[in-house]
Amino acid sequence: MNDTNKSGIRTAIVGVGNCASSIIQGVSYCRAFGEDAIGVSFPELGGYKPGDVELVAGFEVDARKVGKTLGEAAFAAPNCTERFHTDLADQTAMVYRGPDLDGVAAHMLASPEDRSFRLSEAPALSKEEVVAVLKETGAEVMMILLPVGSHQAVAFYAECAIEAGCALVNGIPVFVASHPVWAEKFKAAGLPILGDDFKAQLGATIVHRALANLADMRGVQIDRTYQLNVGGNTDFLNMSDHSRLTLKRESKTEAVQSAMDQRLENEDIRIGPSDYVPWLNDRKVAYIRLEGRLFGGARTNIELRLDVEDSPNAAAEALAGIRLARIALDRGLSGSVDAASAFLFKHPPVQLEDTNAHDMLMAFANGDGEQA
Ligand SMILES: O=P([O-])([O-])O[C@@H]1[C@@H](O)[C@H](O)[C@@H](O)[C@H](O)[C@@H]1O
């Protein structure tokens, strides 16, 4: 770190799945490789580097992860993301048994095969115990990486964050940072909140938004569009239970709609997770199509196929979110940190065009953005 007064960013992660695995690996990787680390989103933000994130606790329900260190849990089944950095000797923080609530999809519980969750038989921590862990480990930032559809679980952990005095970074499509009631609760507690739902580094949303922007900028009229996504990780398995993905679809659709000059009718836009293909593991393939009209009404269409390793793609932005939360804490900011959220999340409190959002984020990190 540049500033010797700055300590590591003590962070607790809720949900030690594939995204967490990529974050855990990513922190150790950035420490080991420094400036030679590949593909780092924001190598430095306000004096903080990704390797300055210090993971101090994890919360999980899966028997294969509870009671292990984060370094061990990162590679425990059903995690299946790429192992891009396997020396995790520095990741010694423990994984605690959190409550189930709705943080486990019903079909996963029912499923006997190897990739399903295996619920830990250890007693789940109460709210007071989770708060105690956060305080004892000195956590200052909590990052939520629970399965899509975990409404009660997000509310539970958000309340724990408030009681323990942690900033919150919400990576999933349950609306808290972008929900005025929650934003107000964090403001009242004097704590910052960032979210909601990561916009992956080079993911389907940012690419779709860029294509829509390009068409708008060139005067092309967009008539209809879709974005179909398939993948083989537990996120996609969870989302094959369609009752869990209402807010995910809303978050993804709104992220694309908000990038267009003219909103499309609901029947002309279809965006969302589309199917679970087990053998893809953590690979995600997105098929994006835009149809529209050029000068004089001449027809055009664009088909684009994006193929990515899903979790490192989200982890890149997560490591920026944690550092921005710490910057907000350093400055005594509270409530929703709009200037830092628009670039990193699909459903921020305020949607901005991505280059403007990038400029605002950098201005914020450099100290000329939001004031306390
Ligand atoms: O940005 P994007 O590629 O549309 O969407 C991404 C999802 O595909 C991914 O599964 C999740 O881990 C990321 O947080 C992000 O939501």
**Gap from CA of 203 to ligand 1 centroid (Å):** 6
Closest residue to atom 3 of ligand 1, CA basis: 203
Q: Nearest to residue 354, comparing CAs of 138, 209, 190?
A: 209
**Gap from CA of 221 to ligand 1 centroid (Å):** 27
pLDDT at 4: 45
Q: Nearest to residue 157, comparing CAs of 189, 138, 134, 180?
A: 134
Question: Going by DSSP bridges, is the β-strand pair 53-60/95-97 parallel, antiparallel, or unpaired?
Answer: parallel
Answer yes or no: is the C-beta of 146 below 6 A from any ligand 1 atom: no
Answer yes or no: is the C-beta of 314 below 6 A from any ligand 1 atom: yes
| CA-203 nearest atom, ligand 1 | 3
Closest residue to atom 11 of ligand 1, CA basis: 314
Answer yes or no: is the C-beta of 54 below 6 A from any ligand 1 atom: no
The domains located in the chain, with CATH, are: 9-199+312-365 (3.40.50.720), 204-310 (3.30.360.10)
Best residue among 145, 198, 208, 311 to mutate for probing ligand 1's pocket (most ligand atoms within 8 Å of CB) is: 198
Q: Nearest to residue 66, comparing CAs of 21, 104, 123?
A: 123
Answer yes or no: is the C-beta of 306 below 6 A from any ligand 1 atom: no
pTM, whole model, 2 decimals? Answer: 0.95
**Gap from CA of 352 to ligand 1 centroid (Å):** 18
Could you read off the pLDDT tens digit of each residue along the chain, which spans 372 residues? 445 456 899 999 999 999 999 999 999 999 999 999 999 999 999 999 999 999 999 999 999 999 999 999 999 999 999 999 999 999 999 999 999 998 885 555 555 455 556 889 999 999 999 999 999 999 999 999 999 999 999 999 999 999 999 999 999 999 999 999 999 999 999 999 999 999 999 999 999 999 999 999 999 999 999 999 999 988 888 888 888 888 889 999 999 999 999 999 999 999 988 899 999 999 999 999 999 999 999 999 999 999 999 999 999 999 999 999 999 999 999 999 999 999 999 999 999 999 999 999 999 999 975 544
Beta bridge partners of 116: none
pLDDT at 2: 44
d(CA 135, CA 143): 15
Helices (H), the chain: 18-33, 70-73, 106-110, 127-136, 151-164, 180-188, 204-217, 234-239, 246-257, 310-330, 338-344, 354-365
Answer yes or no: is the C-beta of 18 below 6 A from any ligand 1 atom: no
**Gap from CA of 345 to ligand 1 centroid (Å):** 10
- Supply the DSSP string of 62-123, one letter for each residue: BTTTTTSBHHHHTT-TT--S--S----TT--PBEEE---TTSS-HHHHH--STTS--B--SP
d(CA 130, CA 158): 11
